Structures are given as C-alpha cells and as structure tokens.
Amino acid sequence: MQCTIKEPMPLLEALQLLCPDSSKNSLRQFLSSGRVLVNDNVVMNHGFTVHPGNILKLSEHKAKYIRDLKIVYEDGQVIVIDKPSGLLSVETNFEKEKTAHAILKRHYAPHKIYVVHRLDFETSGLMVFAKTLDSYNNLKRQLSHRQVTRKYLAIAEGHLEGKGTWSCYLHEDAAYYVHASDNPQEGELAITHFESLGIRQQFSLVGFTLETGKKNQIRVQAAKAGYPLAGDTKYGAKTNKIHRIALHAATLSFCHPTSGKTLSFSSPTPVAFQLLYPN
C-alpha cells in the first residue's frame, strides 16, 4: 500500500489518508513496528513531516519478538532491537546468557552477530547489531565519524533549563565507576548535547543527543552538571521511584551499510516514566 504526497503534512495525517479505516492508535503501532517507509526509508518518528513528491508506503512487515526481545527491523545486514531495561546488552565476566547479544546469537546460530554499540543494563531503547563483518565495519566507521544519530529521553532530578552542550573527559576506575574531569590528561573526550523539554515538580524532562559514545556518558555528565538522572543512585540520584534509571534510547538513525539509504527508528517512551513525569 502506497501513495505519493501532494502537500506538506505531518506523517500521522498522511498515514490517516493512506489508511482511512485505521484508528490513530493503529497508525502509531504501524510506526512503532517499523512498517512505515518514506522514499523506502523506515521512519518511526511520530513528529516526522512528509513533503510533496515523497512516496509513503505501509509494508507488511511487523515487529517480531525473540524471547521477549523486540526486533523492530531486520534485513540481511542489520538487526535493530528495542532493548528493555534490566537486560544487559552484551556478555560480561559475570553473565553470559541473559544478554541481548546472547539471545540473538542463539537464535541466529551458526551465523555470527556483531555488537556495534551498547546500552547500560537499566537503559532501555534502540540498538543496532550487524549480521556481517562488512556491515559491522561500516557501522563502526559511521560511529567513529559521528554519522550515527542517537537521541535519548531522560528524566533528571532538579530544574534543568534551556539547551547546551556538556564536554569533559571520562575515565573508569577499577571499581567500574566512571569519573568526569575537565583535564584532557584524565580520560577520553565525551560530548553530549542536551535540551530541556519541560519541568514538573522536582524533575526535568530532557532530550540528549550523543556526539561521542562513552560508557555511562549521559549519566556521568548529567550528575557532574548537578542534575543526576532519576533512579541513578550510583551517580548521586536521591530518587528511585520506578526502580530503574530514567534513560531511554528513543531514536536511532544511520546509513544502511550496503544500500546507503538512511534508516530512522523511534521507540515509544517507557510507561514507567509516567510515574515521574505524567503526560
């Protein structure tokens, strides 16, 4: 099912014209499951705008699950998952089985699955894995050249206003605690862009965009600035009402390793966030 866009409009509105018998909830599910394509690029962003000449398609593809791990997109080169909070991204010295990577490896055996990047144990949201070595190398180059867009949604303690950039140097000690410093000799450069999206009671809703991708980067820089993420008691949070860190990898965009087309995905805000920041 497809149509050619005649005038600028929100993507949801265009979908309603394409699927007049579908409810708005169904349209949002089409987006969340990776079934909506604009000019053959997957779009999962509810706020996306289409323009004249764009080709809007609704594919038959639906998200599948592998042992409760949501697969939002898959082809012969890449797999994009929506990782739940409370699941490790990759194996550690202490856990070899209950990880996103291990689940994928078992399912796709004997084929290899390559880890492109990671999310912390309590962080939920979008991750991409590679299915071939060439695709892995391509995606790692995109990361190193800062061509992969990763945006996060978080709830921070305190009233963070405006927008800006945090830049400092991070290093990890023997106890796996990441420290922030302004001294270039004391770690690797970490750059995070932030934007306050609202303030409610003692919390701020914040959007983050990573320019670099260091371990615990957003968590440590937010704490250094005086706005630890809710639930992140390791780095100074005083609240933990939802029994997890309030950090979610909400959007992910990269160029497909072989076709060169831009793939863009978004993940719904975790329901638990409503307990800290209603509506």
Computed over every residue of the chain, the mean pLDDT equals: 92
Which pLDDT does position 61 carry in this prediction?
61
What is the model's pLDDT at position 62? Answer: 60
CATH of the domain at 21: 3.10.290.10
pTM of the model: 0.79
Domain count, the chain: 2
Q: Is position 211 within any domain?
A: yes
100 within domain boundaries: no
Whether the predicted pLDDT of 41 surpasses 80? no
| Burial readout 175-202 (b: 16 or more C-beta within 10 A, e: otherwise) | eeebebeeeeeebeebbbebebeebeee
Domain final residue pick, 13, 44, 61:
61
Residue 55 lies in a domain: yes
Structural domain range at position 30: 1-61
What spatial distance separates the first Cα and last Cα of the chain, rounded to whole Å?
33
For residue 129 the two structure tokens come to: 């894995």
Name the residue among 248, 194, 203, 210 with its Cα closest to residue 230.
Answer: 203
Last residue of a domain, one of 45, 61, 77: 61
What is the domain-level CATH number for residue 218? Answer: 3.30.2350.10
Closest CA to 182 of 198, 193, 166: 166
pLDDT of residue 63: 63
Q: Is 170 exposed, middle or buried (0-12, 13-18, 19+ CB in 10 A)?
A: buried
| Active-site option among 120, 173, 182, 232 | 120
Lowest mean pLDDT among 59-68, 209-218, 254-263: 59-68
The highest-confidence range among 59-63, 112-116, 267-271, by mean pLDDT, is 112-116
* 1/228 Cα distance (integer angstroms): 46
How much is the pLDDT for 258?
A: 93
Please indicate whether residue 134 is annotated as part of the active site: no
Sign for the CA dihedral angle at 196, 200, 201, 203 comes to: negative
Report the run of H or E that residue 251 belongs to, with start and end: strand 247-255
Summarised one tens digit per residue, pLDDT across range 42-91 is 787 778 899 999 999 887 666 677 877 999 889 999 999 999 999 999 99
* Contact criterion met (CB below 8 Å) for 31 and 43: yes
| CA-based radius of gyration for the chain | 19
Q: Which residue, among 54, 59, 119, 55, has the nearest Cα to 87 in the 3D structure?
A: 119
Instruction: Over range 198-220, report the average pLDDT.
Output: 95
Within a domain: residue 103?
Answer: no
How many other CB atoms are there within 10 angstroms of residue 55's CB atom? Answer: 14
Amino acid at site 235: Y
Residue 178 lies in a domain: yes
In the DSSP assignment, the letter for residue 243 is S
Residue 160 class from Cβ within 10 Å (0-12 exposed, 13-18 middle, 19+ buried)? buried
User: What is the model's pLDDT at position 28?
Assistant: 85
The pLDDT of residue 230: 97
The secondary structure of 162-210 as a DSSP string is SEEEEEEEEEE-TTS-EEEES-GGGSEEEEEEEEEEEEETTEEEEEEEE
pLDDT of 32 reads: 74
pLDDT band at 169 (very low <50, low <70, confident <90, very high): very high
Strand order of the β-sheet with 2-4 is: 2-4, 55-58, 36-38, 41-42
Within-domain flag for 261: no
- At 66 the pLDDT is 82
Q: What pairing do the DSSP bridges indicate for beta strands 163-172 and 64-66?
A: unpaired
Residues 150-173 have a mean pLDDT of 96
- Contact assessment for residue 218 and residue 152, using Cβ atoms and an 8 Å cutoff: yes
Domain assignment present for 122? no
Task: Evaluate whether residue 199 is within a structural domain.
Answer: yes
The last residue of a domain, from among 35, 61, 87: 61
The percent of residues above 70 in pLDDT, for the chain, comes to 99
